[in-house]
A and B are shown apart, each in its own frame.
Chain A
């Protein structure tokens, strides 16, 4: 079957799956899967940019998604004026001092040699660190003391939350620049470990710095771009239109909000997909793939491979950051405890590999398909376990244990799928052309 026939068929297949879910489990479930599927598709697209164009194995996606979520908080939440007055200036001053110390140490290290270099750099770092802590810590304590149960952090800029989405991309791009400058010279599996570690560091910093993101206390009530269901249910016009369509107000309001998100996310996905396809078929895209296929030859021709890799790394991470901001908007809260590597990074890699590495449409398809599977494996697994244990006596320990473990079938299934695809169809469902 030729690829031009396969691609629309596969997309039709996943559309049928989602519509089928709507009939079996209700329209709300189908729309939930659709929305998270859209976000996952965007993340898979970002990862595919890095893997498909440049062969970069970035396992630190979670960090960039978390930074996108942070952007949603910092743009749309109202500022805590008391906290700003109490410690805002000190904290900013401390951060500037810290950045100056690092920059100064790097500059000093580059310009001196020998023994002076080692002791001088260490001296700058230690003295700078002590000054930074002396300025920073009291400011943080003051900020966190302002109504710790309700706020205890600096708050945001109180702007419409839609702006947070591109800003999330910017945050992620900034972090990617720093990470790329340090880690992109490393070989592929070292890069994987380094990016995984940096993602862990980013999450650890966000969890710990309560003055910035409320840490594990979570930020709730993040503003949304669509009306609240309650407001819709109380609006007589809306209720009338809903009854004309034969729906009760509650159902109509939830469907409206979910469909609204789906439309917004789909617009973002289409924009990014269009840009990615344009880039793929441009001279720049061809150059990137040529570098990926034969790095030595590219370097011999004078291409600055590391700089090109840095470009792609930043672009792919920015896309992940946008998706992260969108996800936090959809959730309406920033819960840092949920950002676990198993959930995000590896699942997205499964999406890219199953969908088709190197192919943008493949990444999008993989995003939808694997997300649908991830959600549906749990009820399917419970059904299978119920079938298996139906013959067993009630109350037996084995039966109870099996039924309790049904939830863990997800990981097993994802792993088996990934291994099967890598073995028998390594180029994925929609291979690179």
Chain B
């Protein structure tokens, strides 16, 4: 009964990766939920928006690395982030002006906007692949670990090591800062309040004299920032590959819907629910059970509830269960 070792193994292989992944999904889901709440359509192009933002950040990071600029122990990508956000914001505003505005003026049905966003997704995907190619890009630098597994083992004398990567710690801290800023913005500033009003009831908001074009512009700016940050954190933590971002779209939608689409708090909760379930269900429990159970009852097989191939399938199953049992999600989101 080696409780401490089991706990450390669980933390190292389940809790820490799931928290980092959950934070990345949460920031991504926040973007999706903002668009759904304020612009009233599901933006299928969000995954590729994240890819574009990350690509812009990567290009500036490479430029900075070439010029010798660095941020010491932290990744240089953090310095490049504002430039990436600016580029993405420009792209999104351009897309809104040329594509989405027409359908908004027509008050087109939401399903038409979804189909249009699919077309936009194609275009963004093509642009990203055209500029940076389809290969894996690694752009992280700075120190790799906050706590190294070996150092932890020496320090505690346990058999299991605990490693916390810089990018994982960075993800959680950035997520907290971003969420705090977003909530302050939505609740305390005038623009934020007008956005929430616009989201709750469009007609009444217009009657109060709120400028809808301004609300839409601020929304796209926020979405650009959120998408770029989420994409960059994910790219730092794992690696950048354009196809992965399209695949990320699906768990992000699942997080937003599970949490309650249209509700920012729901997006965050949904992100963590999806991440923890994905990691926990596909994690082979053999090691942890080996520490917890007496010798005779030790498991033979991997004790994996579902094989790792089913990782994405897990978020869907949760999504579908939530859609069937409680469609408004955990935090009573909206329905258009």
Mark A residues whose CB is within 8 Å of B. Answer: 55, 57, 137, 182-183, 186-190, 192-194, 196-198, 200-201, 204-205, 207-208, 341-342, 346, 349, 353, 401, 404-405, 408-416, 418-419, 422-423, 426
Are the C-beta atoms of B42 and A414 separated by less than 8 Å? no
Which A residues lie within 8 Å of B315 (CB)?
A: 197
Are the C-beta atoms of B99 and A197 separated by less than 8 Å? no
Are the C-beta atoms of A204 and B129 separated by less than 8 Å? no
In chain B, what residue has the closest Cβ to A340?
Answer: B243
Are the C-beta atoms of A419 and B111 separated by less than 8 Å? no
Which A residues lie within 8 Å of B319 (CB)?
A: 193-194, 197
Which A residues lie within 8 Å of B324 (CB)?
A: 182
Which B residues lie within 8 Å of A201 (CB)?
A: 313, 316-317
Question: What's the minimum C-beta distance from A66 to chain B, rounded to whole angstroms?
Answer: 14
In chain A, what residue has the closest Cβ to B45?
Answer: A415
With A194-B323, A201-B317, A204-B309 known as contacts, the answer to whether A408 contacts B119 (CB < 8 A) is: no
Instruction: Give the residue of B41, B312, B323, B327 whose beta carbon is less than 8 angstroms from that of A204.
Output: B312
Are the C-beta atoms of B126 and A415 separated by less than 8 Å? yes
Question: What's the minimum C-beta distance from B197 to chain A, rounded to whole angstroms?
Answer: 23
Are the C-beta atoms of A193 and B257 separated by less than 8 Å? yes
Among A353, A415, A416, find the residue whose CB has the most chain B CB atoms closer than 10 A: A415
B276 proximal to A (CB < 8 A): no
Are the C-beta atoms of A186 and B327 separated by less than 8 Å? yes
Which B residues lie within 8 Å of A413 (CB)?
A: 126
B14 proximal to A (CB < 8 A): no
Which B residues lie within 8 Å of A414 (CB)?
A: 122
Instruction: Give the residue of A55, A57, A415 whose beta carbon is less than 8 angstroms from that of B122.
Output: A415
Are the C-beta atoms of B250 and A205 separated by less than 8 Å? no
Give CA–CA (A427, B12) in the complex, Å.
Answer: 54
Are the C-beta atoms of A404 and B312 separated by less than 8 Å? no
Are the C-beta atoms of A408 and B130 separated by less than 8 Å? yes
With A208-B309, A409-B126, A411-B129 known as contacts, the answer to whether A194 contacts B320 (CB < 8 A) is: yes
In chain A, what residue has the closest Cβ to B129?
Answer: A408
Interfacial residues of chain B within 294-308, with CB under 8 A of chain A in the complex: 301, 307
Which B residues lie within 8 Å of A412 (CB)?
A: 122-123, 126-127, 130
What 0/1 readout, one digit per residue, does chain B (138-173) give for beta carbons within 8 Å of chain A?
000000000000000000000000000000000000
A interface majority secondary structure: helix
List 11 additional contacts besides A57-B114, A342-B125; criterion CB under 8 Å.
A183-B320, A192-B42, A197-B315, A197-B316, A201-B317, A204-B310, A346-B122, A408-B126, A415-B121, A418-B115, A419-B123
With A207-B309, A342-B246 known as contacts, the answer to whether A411 contacts B125 (CB < 8 A) is: yes
Give CA–CA (A353, B111) in the complex, Å.
Answer: 13
Give CA–CA (A404, B116) in the complex, Å.
Answer: 28
Give CA–CA (A241, B319) in the complex, Å.
Answer: 61
Are the C-beta atoms of B41 and A200 separated by less than 8 Å? no
B212 proximal to A (CB < 8 A): no
In chain A, what residue has the closest Cβ to B124?
Answer: A415
With A197-B250, A405-B133 known as contacts, the answer to whether A422 contacts B309 (CB < 8 A) is: no
Which B residues lie within 8 Å of A186 (CB)?
A: 323, 327
Give CA–CA (A190, B257) in the complex, Å.
Answer: 9
Are the C-beta atoms of A57 and B323 separated by less than 8 Å? no
Are the C-beta atoms of B119 and A422 separated by less than 8 Å? yes
Are the C-beta atoms of B118 and A418 separated by less than 8 Å? yes
Question: What's the minimum C-beta distance from B51 to chain A, rounded to whole angstroms?
Answer: 12
Instruction: Give the residue of A200, A208, A416, A423 whose beta carbon is less than 8 angstroms from that of B123.
Output: A416
In chain B, what residue has the closest Cβ to A407?
Answer: B129
Give CA–CA (A346, B44) in the complex, Å.
Answer: 11
Interfacial residues of chain B within 239-263, with CB under 8 A of chain A in the complex: 246, 250, 253-254, 257
Which B residues lie within 8 Å of A418 (CB)?
A: 115, 118-119, 122
B112 proximal to A (CB < 8 A): yes
Are the C-beta atoms of B310 and A197 separated by less than 8 Å? no
Are the C-beta atoms of B312 and A346 separated by less than 8 Å? no
With A190-B323, A405-B133, A411-B125 known as contacts, the answer to whether A423 contacts B118 (CB < 8 A) is: no
Are the C-beta atoms of A197 and B126 separated by less than 8 Å? no
Give CA–CA (A423, B124) in the complex, Å.
Answer: 18
Are the C-beta atoms of A196 and B320 separated by less than 8 Å? no
B110 proximal to A (CB < 8 A): yes
Give CA–CA (A100, B120) in the complex, Å.
Answer: 44
Question: What's the minimum C-beta distance from B241 to chain A, rounded to whole angstroms?
Answer: 14
Which A residues lie within 8 Å of B250 (CB)?
A: 193, 196-197, 200
With A186-B327, A188-B111, A208-B307 known as contacts, the answer to whether A411 contacts B122 (CB < 8 A) is: yes
Are the C-beta atoms of B118 and A349 separated by less than 8 Å? yes
B335 proximal to A (CB < 8 A): yes
Question: What's the minimum C-beta distance from B60 to chain A, rounded to whole angstroms?
Answer: 18
Which A residues lie within 8 Å of B307 (CB)?
A: 208
Question: What's the minimum C-beta distance from A339 to chain B, rounded to whole angstroms?
Answer: 14
Give CA–CA (A182, B110) in the complex, Å.
Answer: 22
Which B residues lie within 8 Å of A404 (CB)?
A: 133
Are the C-beta atoms of B114 and A189 separated by less than 8 Å? yes
With A183-B320, A349-B118 known as contacts, the answer to whether A200 contacts B327 (CB < 8 A) is: no
Which B residues lie within 8 Å of A137 (CB)?
A: 301
Interfacial residues of chain B within 212-234, with CB under 8 A of chain A in the complex: none
Which A residues lie within 8 Å of B257 (CB)?
A: 190, 193
In chain B, what residue has the closest Cβ to A347?
Answer: B122
Which B residues lie within 8 Å of A423 (CB)?
A: 99, 102
Among B119, B130, B254, B301, find the residue whose CB has the most chain A CB atoms closer than 10 A: B119
Interfacial residues of chain B within 41-100, with CB under 8 A of chain A in the complex: 41-42, 99
Question: What's the minimum C-beta distance from A101 to chain B, rounded to whole angstroms?
Answer: 15
Instruction: Give the residue of A193, A405, A410, A416 whose beta carbon is less than 8 angstroms from that of B42.
Output: A193
Chain A to chain B contacts (Cβ below 8 Å), 14 pairs: A187-B335, A189-B110, A193-B250, A194-B319, A197-B320, A200-B312, A208-B309, A341-B246, A342-B122, A405-B130, A408-B129, A415-B125, A416-B122, A422-B112
Are the C-beta atoms of A57 and B115 separated by less than 8 Å? yes
Are the C-beta atoms of B110 and A188 separated by less than 8 Å? yes
Question: What's the minimum C-beta distance from A433 to chain B, rounded to whole angstroms?
Answer: 20
B336 proximal to A (CB < 8 A): yes
Are the C-beta atoms of B119 and A198 separated by less than 8 Å? no
Which A residues lie within 8 Å of B336 (CB)?
A: 187, 189
In chain A, what residue has the closest Cβ to B242?
Answer: A408
Question: What's the minimum C-beta distance from A69 to chain B, rounded to whole angstroms?
Answer: 18
In chain B, what residue has the closest Cβ to A191?
Answer: B111
What 0/1 readout, one digit per residue, does chain B (179-191) give for beta carbons within 8 Å of chain A?
0000000000000
Which A residues lie within 8 Å of B124 (CB)?
A: 415
Which A residues lie within 8 Å of B111 (CB)?
A: 55, 57, 188-189, 192
Are the C-beta atoms of A405 and B119 separated by less than 8 Å? no
Give CA–CA (A204, B312) in the complex, Å.
Answer: 8
Give CA–CA (A364, B322) in the complex, Å.
Answer: 37
